[in-house]
Amino acid sequence: MKSVQISFFVLVLTIFRVRNSRCDSPLVLDYYKETCPHLEEMVQRIVEIAVLEDPRMAASLLRLHFHDCFVMGCDASVLLDDFGNVISEKEAGPNLNSLRGFEVIDEIKYVVEESCPATVSCADIITIAARDSVVLRGGPGWDVLLGRRDSLTASFNGANQFIPAPNSTLDSLIANFQQQGLDTGDLVALSGSHTLGKARCLSFRQRIYDYNSEEKYGYHERDEEYLSALRSLCPRSGRDNTLAPLDLKTPARFDNHYFINIIEGRGLLISDNVLVDQGLQWEIRKHVFAYASNQEYFFDSFVNSMIKMGNVNVLTGNKGEIRKNCRFVNSYTI
């Protein structure tokens, strides 16, 4: 009886958190119900084809959403190419030769414009595509709140400043997330997106050759066999673009094995391993161990944090615009 009561309490708490994350949002469900009723079907179909052709694309589209929201908010600024005096965020350190999925968004936008011209924002397309990517890899689904508009500019400097680096310390990660109005619970849940995808040698070289990493960064396990395998892929110099999976156990499936990996010292990035820091951030480690032991709890938390992140500094009403081409503001393409 006691376990039933606890389960019921967890369910009620989860529902409350999700509803609470939506209550102050300027976004709504079914925003395009009248103006573009088949939007989500169109997005899903193209994302499904893209992921079938390239399974890694699921992680790339999800990452595209993160990198968009962490710079000026979820406004599709990350999609803009250079124009006028504006330097594209694609040229920033965290994105250059790394961020992918732009062509998939272009294809979605083209199809959507054919059916619903000048109606659907690129920012909403990115958000829906991220959700569909998670679902296609076995992760949870959720109703996407819509009504975002697209930015009129980009922030090259913001991309360099606010997107968390793969070698971030725990304090840096916490500060990056707080800058977006996200707390430590969101930090851990959203880090779980590293259950998908791959990273370049350039991003994890410091993790495998910094022999003082335990003392410097505070994580508590060191899997020598795993490190040896990574060193064979990624030498001290050269082969910068060689890829390794972020999740060693189930790299193509969205599940909770990422958290099991970092507990065992098999996180690929320094920013993964610092989540099990033995220092003062016990609250963070508590989330990691909870998600490692309960996938459903991780899924619920991830959904809640994705909805929350998707609300960061969105443009609505008369702010911004609905771009005709996601790579350029409308005034530039006329």
Active site residues: 67
264 is in an annotated binding site: no
How many angstroms separate the CA atoms of 233 and 239, rounded?
A: 8
Q: DSSP secondary structure string, 1-42? A: -HHHHHHHHHHHHHHHHHHHHHHT-S-BTTTTTTT-TTHHHH
Which residues neighbour 14 within 8 Å (Cβ) at sequence distance 6 or greater? 300, 304
Do residues 308 and 21 lie in contact, with contact meaning Cβ atoms separated by under 8 Å?
A: yes
35 is in an annotated binding site: no
User: Which burial class, exposed, middle or buried, applies to 301 when counting CB atoms under 10 A from its CB (0-12, 13-18, 19+)?
Assistant: buried
Residue 213: what are its φ and ψ, rounded to 5°? -65, -35
Query: What dihedral do alpha carbons 122, 251, 10, 176 form, nearest 10°?
Result: -60
Tell me the sheet residues that pair with 200. Answer: 243
Q: Which helix (H) or strand (E) segment is 200 a member of?
A: strand 198-200
How many angstroms separate the CA atoms of 211 and 173, rounded?
A: 22
68 is in an annotated binding site: yes
How many angstroms separate the CA atoms of 325 and 311, rounded?
A: 23
Gyration radius of the chain over CA positions:
20
194 is in an annotated binding site: yes
| Upper half-sphere CA count for residue 61 (Cβ side, 13 Å) | 33
247 is in an annotated binding site: yes
How many angstroms separate the CA atoms of 115 and 40, rounded?
A: 12
Alpha-carbon distance values, 250 to 69, 161, 195, 254, 259 (Å): 27, 31, 7, 8, 12
150 is in an annotated binding site: no
For 259-282, b/e burial (b = at least 16 CB within 10 A) is bbbbbebbbbbbbbbbbbbeeebe
300 is in an annotated binding site: no
164 is in an annotated binding site: yes
127 is in an annotated binding site: no
The annotation places the binding site for heme b at 194
The annotation places the binding site for substrate at 164
The annotation places the binding site for Ca(2+) at 68, 71, 73, 75, 77, 89, 195, 247, 250, 255
The annotation places the binding site at 68, 71, 73, 75, 77, 89, 164, 194-195, 247, 250, 255
